[in-house]
Chains A and B, each alone.
Chain A
């Protein structure tokens, strides 16, 4: 709004730090003060100790590697499928008109409801977990790729044609690079959804990975460990997001 000056960076940082301090202090006060049960919440200090053990004694390594591997494989499949289908939608008005409403409806559906179907079709194991990651991740990539290609100035394609580009050169040297910022954004969004899908799948089916780790602690009422593992997943997601933002 006009007339509002931008707050200083140091003030923004101060507010952020104050919010973080409050967030960290709250569990400590609520649990130690007896306002919330230890089964529901653990004091921050205990979560910090459990987090340290989780990382230092290597408990986290195997589940982490398993989760990262599933995320990586699923994301590669999501990216390739999303790029191909997004490109086809952009090229074909008919397929776009036919499927776009379905895709948009898909956004509004909680992806987890597909999990029982995936379990029945693919069985308990990696395929169903990857299936959930795929279902959640592929739609934003398709829509994002299509939007990114739609956003490319048509003059660029015409210029390439007049300059003598072959169809392949036109797409690979002009159109796709021009759409790259949007495609990068779509892939980043898709990646985030794949992470959610894989960890949720592992939590639900409990065959391995970080999701199973959290589920095991949860089943044993080890609330400090549940929160420690959750903090690890949050930090992992933030780190991946930061790396993707850098790449973009």
Chain B
């Protein structure tokens, strides 16, 4: 691979990214991200995994342009993220459907904002409604659906825009284990069809191994990249190879999780 071809394929780049929260005037700054360097190439599915509160979601906020890092830079296709949002699809863990709109109206919200005519909106939504098992629920309201179905609606709302980049901030965090496996499977099928460059923030090691092409293990706060693990398993990721990778990731994560839990993560995180 030549340096120029790698640069051509780079969709999301974090270059020496530093960030701290708090008030610099009162000296109560908490460093959250330290010197993160990461390049995500076109069509990859990358999971960010790290201890709770380490700054995974902070990195995603930077990639979506809602947060500007104190140091270094984040780029989407080489540009400022805030200027490239038209290429983005995003799913949050928090409930983000509009409760006064039906399932169909929620799914087509982004198309409506982008001025797509109603007939076209309906046609674009139709396929995804089928793929995500939402047929028959188009005229229901979010309060009438289960948590898993609501997250599928959120996923459909992001994917109907055919985004080149998909950012997923713990999208299945509030779901039970069985539902998250099923919804994750549906996401994987759609990703294989559409191939958006995807970044998933998750706490689940098995989910990261099941869905990703690479897993980025992050250190406790202030977070940096501890190790990047490529997932090169053909076929279903449920066998011994997947278990070995999960074990490897847990070995890397265990110390970080312990440090985060004990609260002595300050200053010198990670290898």
Contacts of B86 in A (CB 8 A): 164
Are A163 and B157 in contact (CB-based, < 8 A)?
yes
Query: Which one of A155, A169, A173 contacts B94 once the chains associate, using CB atoms below 8 Å?
Result: A155
Task: Check: A161 CB closer than 8 A to any chain B CB.
Answer: yes
- Whether B98 is near chain A, meaning CB under 8 Å from some CB there, is yes
The 8 A CB mask of B134-169 against A (1 = contact, 0 = none) is 000000000000000000000001000100000000
B95: A residues at CB distance < 8 A: 153, 155
Interface set of A (CB-CB < 8 Å, partner B): 153, 155-156, 158-166, 169, 173-174, 177-178
Q: Which of B90, B100, B114 has the most CB of A within 10 A?
A: B90
Q: CB distance B100 to A155 under 8 Å?
A: no
**What 5 A-B pairs have minimum CB-CB distances, sorted nearest first?**
A163-B110, A165-B113, A164-B113, A162-B90, A155-B94
Contact residues on B (Cβ < 8 Å of other chain), bracket: 10 to 19
B113→A177 contact, CB < 8 A: no
Q: Does B66 sit at the interface, judged by CB under 8 A?
A: yes
CA–CA, A174 to B110, complex, Å? 12
CA distance A156 to B95 in the complex (A): 8
User: Does residue B179 face the partner (Cβ distance < 8 Å to A)?
Assistant: no
Q: Tell me the minimal C-beta distance from B173 to chain A in angstroms.
A: 13
Q: Do residues A178 and B110 form an inter-chain contact, with CB atoms below 8 A? A: no
User: B250 an interface residue at 8 Å Cβ cutoff?
Assistant: no
Instruction: Tell me the bound Cα distance from A30 to B33 in angstroms.
Output: 77
Which chain A residue has the least Cβ–Cβ distance from B89? A162
Is B227 interfacial (CB-CB < 8 Å)? no
Interface residues of B in 51-98 (CB under 8 A from A): 64, 66, 85-86, 88-90, 92, 94-96, 98
CA distance A169 to B92 in the complex (A): 20
Residues of B within 8 A of A165 (CB): 113
Neighbouring A residues of B98 by C-beta, 8 Å: 156, 174, 177-178
